[in-house]
Amino acid sequence: MTNVILAATGNVGRQIVAQLAGHAAVRAVTRDPAALPGSVYGDLSAPDTIAACVEEGDAVFLLWPLHTGRLLPAVVDAIARRAGRVVFLGTGGVPDLGFEEQEKLIHGCGIASTVLRPSTFAVNTLWWTGQIRTGDVVRGAYGALPMALIHEADMAAVAVRALTEPGHDDATYELTGPEILTQAEQVRVIGEVLDRPLRWEGLTREQARLRLLADETFPDSFVDVLLDGYAAMLAGPPPTLTSTVQDVTGTPPRSLREWVADHAADFVCPGP
Ligand X SMILES: NC(=O)c1ccc[n+]([C@@H]2O[C@H](COP(=O)([O-])OP(=O)(O)OC[C@H]3O[C@@H](n4cnc5c(N)ncnc54)[C@H](OP(=O)(O)O)[C@@H]3O)[C@@H](O)[C@H]2O)c1
Q: How many residues does the chain have?
A: 272
10 is an interface residue for ligand X by CB under 6 A: yes
Intra-chain end-to-end CA distance of the chain, in Å? 45
Closer by beta carbon to ligand X, 38 or else 197: 38
Closer by beta carbon to ligand X, 6 or else 111: 6
11 is an interface residue for ligand X by CB under 6 A: yes
Closer by beta carbon to ligand X, 92 or else 130: 92
Rounded to a whole number of angstroms, the minimum distance from the CB of residue 118 to ligand X is: 5
47 is an interface residue for ligand X by CB under 6 A: no
The residues in 192-251 that bind ligand X, with binding defined as CB under 6 A, are: none
199: three-class secondary structure by DSSP:
strand
Is the Cα torsion angle 242, 259, 147, 114 positive or negative in sign? negative
4 is an interface residue for ligand X by CB under 6 A: no
Q: Which amino acid is at 141?
A: A
| Residue from 17, 20, 44, 115 binding ligand X (CB under 6 A) | 44
Cβ-Cβ contacts under 8 Å for 18 (sequence gap 6 or more): 156
The radius of gyration of the chain from alpha carbons, rounded to an integer in Å, stands at 19
45 is an interface residue for ligand X by CB under 6 A: yes
Nearest to 212 by CA among 197, 190, 229: 229
Q: Kindly state the number of chain residues that form the binding site for ligand X, as judged by CB under 6 A.
A: 24
| Residue from 3, 20, 27, 30 binding ligand X (CB under 6 A) | 30
Rounded to a whole number of angstroms, the minimum distance from the CB of residue 201 to ligand X is: 22
| Residue from 89, 97, 198, 227 binding ligand X (CB under 6 A) | 89
Cβ contact 90:103 at 8 Å: yes
**Residues 64-83, mask of contacts with ligand X (x by CB under 6 A):** xx------------------
Closer by beta carbon to ligand X, 44 or else 190: 44
How far is residue 218's CA from residue 197's CA, in Å, rounded to a whole number? 25
**C-beta nearest to ligand X: residue:** 10
Burial class (CB in 10 A: 0-12, 13-18, 19+), 135: exposed
Cβ-Cβ contacts under 8 Å for 163 (sequence gap 6 or more): 3, 16, 20, 24, 59, 61, 85, 87
Stretch of 43-51, 159-167, 215-223, 253-261 lying at the interface with ligand X (CB under 6 A)? 43-51
Q: How many Cβ atoms from other residues are within 10 Å of residue 112's Cβ? A: 17
**Residues 111-140, mask of contacts with ligand X (x by CB under 6 A):** -------x-xx--x----------------
How far is residue 8's CA from residue 4's CA, in Å, rounded to a whole number? 9
* DSSP-assigned letter for residue 203: -
Stretch of 6-14, 70-78, 104-112, 233-241 lying at the interface with ligand X (CB under 6 A)? 6-14
Residues that bind ligand X (CB under 6 A): 7, 9-13, 30-32, 42-45, 63-65, 89, 91-93, 118, 120-121, 124
